[in-house]
């Protein structure tokens, strides 16, 4: 495998930060991922320390893709629902790249997971409207139409039963309230029905850590017309997607000079 196909992916979440080198051609981790708890408070400098440590653990000197749990435009983090508000309107790409002295790409965390599933997972070859949802600290979303991403949808913040949907049906809510898988599935079902009314997707992809336990809750979700499948990359999708985004953004800069576009 050529080094141009290898990027480091780092997935920043409200609970944990994890990373690993990724073979972007195959869409797989090259080493066991490193995971650390997200610092509290999750101020930029504190998170940066964790990112620096992950980069150092792999002695990494190439491109880095980093996910962020919020809206990201041009490397600037516009919102920060589940991390410190110091991230709002911060040039995160500049912060990371100047500190790491490496080329860095920053992308919305659910968008990264969606990119990974569409290119390397259950979304491969799927057309129509595909909606990936990650159930973790909050609920992330990635919307695709005929394989093209509509970025920064953040559907976890849609109102459901008078509250933000992620305050009703996230993975953390299930754990904090000690909900049975069946009870939680009924909450997820109402959320999916609401999204189906708004977007009429052909396929729901359920990601995040709960995707490993799909057999415990998916059989309880009924009365949803769209096909529902668990993510095949499970909780590694964000890492893989971050690396894929870095590989795409770096583009010709990673290729030998003889292969670069004129």
What are the pLDDT digits (tens) for 179-224?
999 999 999 999 999 999 999 999 999 999 899 999 999 999 999 9
Task: Annotate 204-243 with b (16+ C-beta within 10 A) or e (fewer).
Answer: bbbbbebbeebeebbeebeebebebbbbbbbbbbbbbbbb
| CATH (residue range 122-232) | 3.30.420.40
The CATH-assigned architecture of domain 3-107+242-259 is 2-Layer Sandwich (3.30)
**Residue-level pLDDT at 3:** 63
**pLDDT-derived band at 4, boundaries 50, 70, 90:** low
Task: Name the segment(s) of the chain with CATH classification 3.30.420.40.
Answer: 3-107+242-259, 122-232
**Residue-level pLDDT at 251:** 56
Indicate the average pLDDT of the chain: 93
**pLDDT-derived band at 254, boundaries 50, 70, 90:** very low
**pLDDT-derived band at 260, boundaries 50, 70, 90:** very low
Q: Point out the least confidently predicted range of 1-5, 58-62, 69-73, 183-187.
A: 1-5
Q: What is the mean pLDDT of residues 47-65?
A: 97
Q: Is 206 helix (H, G, I), strand (E, B) or coil?
A: strand
Q: With a cut of 50, say whether residue 88 has pLDDT above it.
A: yes
**Residue-level pLDDT at 211:** 94
**pLDDT-derived band at 262, boundaries 50, 70, 90:** very low
Per-residue tokens: 178:
């000690």
Residue 85 CB neighbours (<10 A): 13
pTM recorded for the entire structure: 0.91
**pLDDT-derived band at 127, boundaries 50, 70, 90:** very high
Q: With a cut of 50, say whether residue 134 has pLDDT above it.
A: yes
Identify which has the larger pLDDT, 99 or 255: 99
**Residue-level pLDDT at 259:** 31
Q: Is the peptide bond before 151 cis (omega within 30 degrees of 0)?
A: no
65 burial type by CB count under 10 A (0-12 exposed, 13-18 middle, 19+ buried): buried
């Amino acid at each position: 495998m050529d080094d141009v196909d290898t990027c480091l992916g780092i997935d920043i979440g409200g609970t944990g930060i994890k990373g690993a080198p990724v073979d972007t051609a195959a869409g797989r981790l090259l080493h066991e991922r490193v995971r650390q708890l997200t610092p509290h408070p999750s101020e930029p400098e504190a998170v940066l320390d964790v990112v620096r440590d992950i980069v150092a653990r792999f002695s990494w000197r190439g491109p880095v893709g980093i996910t962020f749990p919020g809206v990201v435009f041009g490397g600037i983090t516009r919102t920060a629902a589940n991390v410190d508000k110091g991230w709002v309107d911060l040039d995160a790409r500049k912060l990371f790249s100047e500190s790491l002295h490496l080329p860095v790409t920053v992308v919305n965390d659910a968008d990264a997971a969606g990119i990974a599933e569409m290119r390397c997972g259950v979304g491969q070859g799927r057309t129509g409207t595909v909606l990936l949802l990650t159930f973790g600290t909050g609920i992330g979303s990635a919307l695709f139409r005929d394989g093209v991403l509509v970025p920064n949808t953040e559907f976890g913040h849609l109102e459901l039963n008078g509250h933000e949907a992620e305050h009703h049906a996230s993975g953390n809510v299930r754990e904090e309230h000690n909900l049975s898988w069946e009870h939680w599935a009924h909450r997820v079902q109402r959320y999916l029905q609401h999204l189906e009314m708004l977007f009429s997707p052909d396929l729901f992809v359920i990601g995040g850590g709960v995707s490993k336990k799909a057999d415990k809750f998916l059989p309880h979700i009924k009365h949803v017309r769209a096909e529902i499948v668990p993510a095949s990359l499970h909780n590694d999708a964000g890492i893989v997607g971050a690396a894929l985004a870095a590989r795409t953004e770096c583009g010709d800069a990673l290729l030998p000079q003889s292969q670069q576009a004129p």
